[in-house]
Amino acid sequence: MDKKNSQVMNQPFISIIIAAYNAASFISRLLKSISDSSSLEIIVVNDGSSDSTAEIVSRMALADRRIRLVNQKNAGVSAARNRGILEAKGQWLMFADADDWFDSEQLDLLIEKLGLLDENVAVAKFGVKHVFSECTVCHDVKEQVLPTEEFLDKGLFMEASWNYAFRRELINKFDLCFPEGITNTEDQNFNLKAIAASGKIASINLMVYHYNKTNESSASQKKHKKEWTEAPVLSALDLLDFCQKWQLPVGLIKGNIAHLLCQFFEDRSSDITLKERRNIYCPAYLKICKVLPSFSQYKKFVIPYYCMLLGRLLFDTKNYIKRFL
């Protein structure tokens, strides 16, 4: 057996899952960018597109048997990715957005390196290029394998799921899926669950993925709905429930839960009222503090909490006075 065939036999089988919605103008670029390796399959979940996305993928699948098209009614990116997880046969799973693309040579090298990882490593992070209209910014990583706690403490966590490869055994063992009732932060949610459940995380210094920053969705230019604004809080609570269910140390992701609450306060793009913010935040804050007593030491979260309580007191007092005037 020659060296090349031996390397192919040692390579793990990879599933690349693509959630596609009205992606006709760029889906072919993504599919063409994927290497011709026989060690992978490409699952495109067409999430109820109204354009020619399905037709383009079907045509390309005729020429490349590794491509599989799965059609479903529009249900959102999380539902599409979860469908892809159910359809996937790979030992490692990766995710891609339809308007991004891969570096095929770097992807081949990544597949080889995934095959060399210790079986206790269930999550692998790799480098990404952020492509802007004016320039390209490289986000490389240091080649290393770290325990989960050290990985998070060093601030190495990246929010996007296309920044990682996930071992299928981990996904099956902990029933990992994207939260379908949460309209954003779904990537952070999935990644943090996987990382919290994984004993070790590998960082592989390869620029595998190109993130397209020139094609921001029109939704990002509009005011967000209430569901979008409250999503970080719902995501934090979901992470809390996940860790409790699987008896994982919640303290590992305490800082990440804090970051999600920061996102909730920083979002001023919706018309959500102070009362609505209070009703979303206060119960969540109390629940988190009950599980993580040390969380109440974070002043940036204590102050908004008491400000909201004060706002409620003033509101109730004002209404009480009105009744007697």
pLDDT of residue 324: 47
Do the domain assignments include residue 226?
no
For residue 57, the enclosing domain spans 1-100
Instruction: Render each residue's pLDDT in the chain as its tens digit; 325 residues.
Output: 444 444 456 799 999 999 999 999 999 999 999 999 999 999 999 999 999 999 999 999 999 999 999 999 999 999 999 999 999 999 999 999 999 999 999 999 999 999 999 999 999 999 999 999 888 999 999 999 999 999 999 999 999 999 999 999 999 999 999 999 898 999 999 999 999 999 999 999 999 999 998 865 433 334 467 888 899 999 999 999 999 999 999 999 988 998 898 888 777 666 777 778 878 888 888 898 888 887 766 555 555 555 555 555 554 444 544 554 4
- Dist CA 177 CA 186 (whole Å): 10
- Dist CA 18 CA 147 (whole Å): 29
CA distances from residue 308 to 47, 150, 153 in whole angstroms, order as listed? 39, 35, 31
Do the domain assignments include residue 123?
no
Q: What's the CATH code of the domain at 81?
A: 3.90.550.10
The whole-model pTM stands at 0.88
- Dist CA 146 CA 87 (whole Å): 30
pLDDT of residue 311: 53
Q: Coil, strand, or helix at residue 94?
A: strand
The total domain count for the chain is: 1
Do the domain assignments include residue 109?
no
- Dist CA 161 CA 179 (whole Å): 13
Do the domain assignments include residue 207?
no
Do the domain assignments include residue 57?
yes
| Cross-strand bridge partners of residue 8 | none
Do the domain assignments include residue 30?
yes
| Tokens 């305490």, residue located | 254
pLDDT of residue 319: 52
Do the domain assignments include residue 36?
yes
Rg of the chain over Cα atoms, rounded to whole angstroms, equals 22
Do the domain assignments include residue 12?
yes
Q: Are strands 92-97 and 67-72 parallel, antiparallel or unpaired?
A: unpaired
- Dist CA 204 CA 193 (whole Å): 20
